[in-house]
Structure 1
Amino acid sequence: MSRLVMKFGGTSVANVERIHNVARHVKREVEAGRQVAVVVSAMAGKTNELVAWCKEASPLYDQREYDAVVASGEQVTAGLLAIALQKIGIPARSWQGWQTPICTNGTHGSARIESIDGAGIIDGFSRGEVAVVAGFQGVHKETGRITTLGRGGSDTSAVALAAAIHADRCDIYTDVDGVYTTDPRVVPKARRMDRVAFEEMLEMASLGAKVLQVRSVEVAMVHKVPTYVRSSFDDPDSPGEGTLICNEEDIVEAQVVTGIAFSRDEAQITLRRVADKPGVAAAVFMPLAEAGINVDMIVQVVSEDGMTDMTFTVGTADYERAFAILEKIKDDIGFSSMAGEKEVAKVSAIGIGMRSHAGVAARAFRALSEKGVNIRAITTSEIKFSVLIDEAYTELAVRTLHTLYGLDAA
């Protein structure tokens, strides 16, 4: 029998009525002769509520107890879905992360999966049972404590479980019907893609697309788990096609540019007149790395009189911390002044077809200049390029590039 993992996000299980709708989706797959494991998120808004309670109890809460609290949201959903499935005649039982077990490292709040023992779930399949697994959570084997995987961790749970039980594919059900060439709220002409390569999806997720969590795409790519993004709001009896995330070889003809991603969660920091000598870059970026601050776009101007300017970006949430850290080490580094800007955005074009086409980025630079969009910084890789621009021009830039590369729907 074919084996399938289905994952349903918070909006898909927001209330009992929607959980009954999810049960109908699961029933369709069971009646098609598949062995099914379902991974569920907490009901929409519940995780935020649980987090708020932790902060109310103590602003300096114990991260281990925080995990024990916030993991309960998925436990409720798993139990309710198992009950809903039983009501319509589908044998089902709920599984918590520690019962499976999904073993993780001990980094509470953002744990990483180390192993999954799917034997119990597979044994349940032999009895005709659907496994309903609480996503987002696992257990640290050495301490026996519940851990959570960070926001969006249920996607990672689902793909990792699919790899562990050797599922034929993993279907991620969400509130959209697939992966689009860009955000349809910004570009109404954006269109749903039938297939996207793992590498492209990884870039899109890391560059601002919110459809899938980055770590889930990494796991899918490493373990070669075909992953569908589908809508849970489709009629369970006639669901839409969605978008398949797959190997590059499974895409017949790759477009030059597959999609346009953007992120407004960017801040720019510029260090003026930094000594241009070995070790300075390490002195700037090592303290930021040790503080867990990710640095993205880095631009260094040509040295003049042994001094240079250095510009880089961090996430908006890390901006104040990064600024404070650099102020403390100003004398050690020896820069003359520091400037910052939070009203910036990153716009990126992604496509595996870029590997075999020249001048793709140059066309974008010309098109943006004709629209009066100033580019602050540029980064490139084999299958993408990103530009940093003033946030006010984000939508104009996204629409311009979307049209430039022929992504507008007919």
Structure 2
Amino acid sequence: MALFVQKFGGTSVGDPSRIARCAARVKQRVDEGHRVVVVVSAMGHATDELIELASRVCDKPSRRELDMLMATGEQVSVALVAMALEKIGVSAASLTGGQAGITTDGAFGRARVIRVDAERLESELARGRVPVVCGFQGLSRDGEITTLGRGGSDTTAVALAAALRVCDHGGCCEIFTDVDGVYTADPRLVPMASKLQRISYQEMLELASLGAQVMHPRAVLFGERYGVPIHVRHSQRPDEGTMICRETPDMEEVMVVGAALKPDLGRVSLRRIPNNPGVQGMLFDAVAKAGIMVDDIMQTEFGEIASISFTVDHSDLADVKIAASQVLDRVGTGELAIEIGLAKISVVGAGMKSHVGVASRMFTALGAAGIPIHNITTSEIKISCILGKEHAQRALAITHEAFGLEKLGAMQSTGQTASSVASPVASFVASPIASPIAGSVSAT
């Protein structure tokens, strides 16, 4: 008897008929003799509708009250899914994030999971029930309802899978969504993109942080930290999807596994600031306290003065402008400039660690297409280029073609780049990495 955590996204539970199909998929696992925990997002566009409703009541609602409101979206979903399961003969119990033992910090709207106590879930499973848990939410140590931010239901599912030690029980975390796996690029932007059979945690983490929307980066990080195999699948189709798993030596045979696009970036520049020790720390401490994720950073020095530029999501520009202006006031000099209309194209692959020529191939392809590159950043398994947003989609397609990624999925399935894998679940749960705390999981 294996143990599975199954997560269904908002589109998957968007209406009663889709909820019924999700319930049938859960029942299939139960009928096979397995234990199942379900995590559910809010229905369809319910979260957006709740935010819109709040804006009609108050121009600037507090983040606490927004969390209280948005958490109701998942509560509707879990109750309906539990009802659908009961209707087809599967005993179920709907639970909020707090009831499921999810403890978060107190950052409303962007809370982080700091602990999961699986006692209630284990109790429900022992009684033969399927716990249906609200994704996206938890309870702070002060007893406040918090939300995890966009994509937080993925994080909920993987955190629960870690706490329940699904690896020790022959299972995995199944992420059911409206796509049938992880592709070499967004197939809506690159029609020739191919579905991957498997991808490493680090590769998926890079792609997720670089704009791939299949998985939330924090969910992948939890999976890597606790060795939870994550199977990304289509909620309405029976096909196998993509397994996110530990890196194996043969994965380095592939130079690049995917290309990603971040389409809406802004660049913030602090010019003519003192080139003194501590200025950088002062700036990015202020940005961090504003809860803003920084993308690429570049510093240029001119003797006693310097310029620092960094990119952020376009939606964060208003907040970062306030934080940066306050820093300029503190240092007493300098000027602030903000540039919009930027995008970032990236390629990712564990094979970069053992192959040469990746950067030259990417830059040559973009140059031949007449696409100017504004900035370049790299890591051990990633190369990224900042460029004008007007070139973004064409640059993604060109880069994808330059590395022959349209062929990669077929090559994986035939074993040309990796050993053949008949069953993703069976292959990647054979050697689990145990969670360090029995029955619970903590994160800092």
Q: TM-score, normalised by structure 1?
A: 0.92
Tell me which residue corresponds to 1:13: 13
- CA drift of 1:324 comes to 4.3
Report whether the alignment pairs 1:118 with 2:118. Answer: yes
Distance 1:269 1:124, change over 3 A: closer
**Which segments of 5 or more consecutive residues in structure 1 lack a partner in the other structure?**
none
Instruction: Give the whole-Å Cα distance in 2 for the aligned partners of 1:332 and 1:65.
Output: 33
Of the two structures, which has the highest relative contact order with CA contacts closer than 8 Å and spacing of 6 or more? Answer: 2
Partner residue of 1:138? 138
Q: Structure 1, residues 279-327: CA drift from partner, whole Å, max 9, x if none?
A: 34334433333333333212234x4454444332122122233334434
- Are 2:224 and 1:226 equivalent residues in the alignment? no
| Percentage of pairs with the same residue | 44
Q: Is the contact between residue 251 and residue 351 of structure 2 (CA under 8 Å) also seen in structure 1?
A: no
Check 1:57–1:247 CA distance in 2 against 1; reply closer, same or farther (3 A cut): same
Does the CA-based 8 Å contact 1:12-1:19 persist in structure 2? yes
* Mapping for residues 93-172 of structure 1, pairs under 5 Å: 93-141=93-141, 143-167=142-166, 168-172=171-175
Partner Cα separation in structure 1 for residue 258 and residue 199 of structure 2? 10
Report the CA distance between 1:67 and its aligned residue: 2.3
**What stretches of structure 2 of length at least 5 have no aligned partner?**
411-444
Letter of the 2:151 counterpart: G
Aligned-partner residue type, residue 23 of structure 1: A
- CA 280–89 in structure 1, closer or farther in 2 if over 3 Å, else same: closer
Q: Deviations over 1:177-230 (max 9, x none)?
A: 000001112111100000010001111111101111111111111111000110
Deviation at 1:175, TM superposition (A): 0.3
- Post-superposition offset of 1:5: 0.5
> How far apart, CA to CA, are the structure 1 residues paired with 2:11 and 2:232?
14
> In the TM superposition, what whole-angstrom CA distance separates every residue of 1:36-89 from its partner, at most 9, and x where no partner exists?
111111101111222223333333434333322211111111111111111111
1:297 aligns with: 296
Within the candidate set 338, 344, 347, 1:340 is matched to 338
Partner residue in 2 for 1:371: 369
Structure 1 counterpart of 2:72, which letter?
S
Task: Tell me which amino acid in the other structure corresponds to 1:243.
Answer: T
Matched residues in 2 for 1:43 and 1:378: separation? 39
Question: What is the distance in 2 between the residues matched to 1:200 and 1:77?
Answer: 32
- Given that 1:271 and 1:335 are in contact with CA atoms closer than 8 Å, whether structure 2 keeps it comes out as no
For the residue of structure 2 that corresponds to 1:89, the secondary structure is coil
User: What's the Cα RMSD here?
Assistant: 2.1
Q: Which residues in structure 2 correspond to 1:183-262 (within 5 Å)?
A: 183-234=186-237, 239-249=238-248, 254-262=253-261
SS of alignment partner, residue 122 of structure 1: helix
Whole-Å separation in 2 of the counterparts to 1:186 and 1:128: 44
Aligned length: 404
Distance 1:144 1:404, change over 3 A: same
**2:192 counterpart letter in structure 1:** K
Task: Supply the AA of the counterpart residue of 1:297.
Answer: D
The reply on whether 1:263 has 2:269 as its aligned counterpart is no
> Measured at CA, do residues 369 and 80 of structure 1 come closer, stay the same or move farther in structure 2, by a change above 3 Å?
same
Q: Are 2:308 and 1:310 aligned?
A: yes
Tell me whether 93-102 or 12-21 shows the greater mean CA deviation: 93-102
Q: Deviations over 1:85-119 (max 9, x none)?
A: 11111122212222222222222222222222222
**Equivalent residue for 2:434?**
none
Between the aligned partners of 1:318 and 1:39, the Cα distance in structure 2 is 29
Q: How far apart are the structure 1 equivalents of 2:174 and 2:39?
A: 10
